[in-house]
Amino acid sequence: MALRQIREIGDDILLKPCRDVKEITPHVRELIDDMFETLYDADGVGLAAPQVGILKKIVIIDTGDDPHVLINPVIISQSGEQEGSEGCLSVPGKYGIVKRPMYVKVSYYDENMERREMEGTELMARAICHELDHLEGKLYVDMTKDGLHDVEEEEEDGGEKD
Ligand code: ZN
């Protein structure tokens, strides 16, 4: 395993759409392992492959319960609404207020290319939406209610970093 460099806003790769994963190669497994190492090192909640410079539809999410790997994920149902603070490892030191669904259901493939479905509410729903946006080259900074705010130093541990 190895840490990968997290691409930051201004890097064009974050604005490009990703390709489907066709099969789980050793290369893809290594990427997923590296993404988890990079996510935990950065103390984040989620990470999408383009954030480490790879244009493949892979996201990982760990909101503190279990680590999830979502390959070729698609949101198949959503409901409700939540408005809350959101940050991104690719936009360090900033946060913004973003509206997201309160509930989402996502269809995806796991690390063995088995088709699965997962439901999420609150933080998990927000994380799923945020990470899936990355796969389409979309960043939360373009969806904020009133722009970006600076994270105060003393509050740095309190923010969610997807
Ligand atoms: Zn992000």
The per-residue pLDDT for 159 is 57
Q: Look at residue 152 in the predicted model and tell me its pLDDT.
A: 85
What are the distances in angstroms from CA 128 to CA 25, 27, 79?
Answer: 24, 24, 14
In angstroms, what is the span from residue 87 Cα to ligand 1's centroid?
7
Report the alpha-carbon distance of residue 97 to residue 90 in Å, rounded. 16
Q: What is the pLDDT of residue 156?
A: 53
Residue tagged active-site, from 131, 136, 152, 154: 131
Q: Which residues of the chain have pLDDT under 50?
A: none
For the entire predicted model, the pTM comes to: 0.92
Which residues keep their CB under 5 angstroms from ion ligand 1? 88, 162
Query: What integer pLDDT is reported at residue 65 of this predicted model?
Result: 84
Task: Give me the DSSP letters along 34-88.
Answer: HHHHHHHHTT-SEEEGGGGT--BSEEEE-SSS--EEEEEEEEEEEE--EEEEEB-
- Residue 143: CB atoms within 10 A of its CB come to 16
Residue-range domain boundaries for the chain: 12-157
| 147 residue type, one letter | G
Instruction: Say how far apart CA 41 and CA 21 lie, in whole Å.
Output: 25
Distance (Å) from CA 33 to ligand 1 centroid: 18
CATH superfamily of 12-157: Peptide deformylase (3.90.45.10)
114 CA to centre of ligand 1 in angstroms: 25
Query: Is residue 132 within a helix (H) or strand (E), and if so which, with residue range?
Result: helix 122-135
CB 59 within 8 A of CB 131: yes
Q: How far is the CA of 145 from the centre of ligand 1 (A)?
A: 17
Distance separating alpha carbons of residues 2 and 61, to the nearest angstrom: 18
131 is catalytic: yes
H or E element that contains 103: strand 103-109
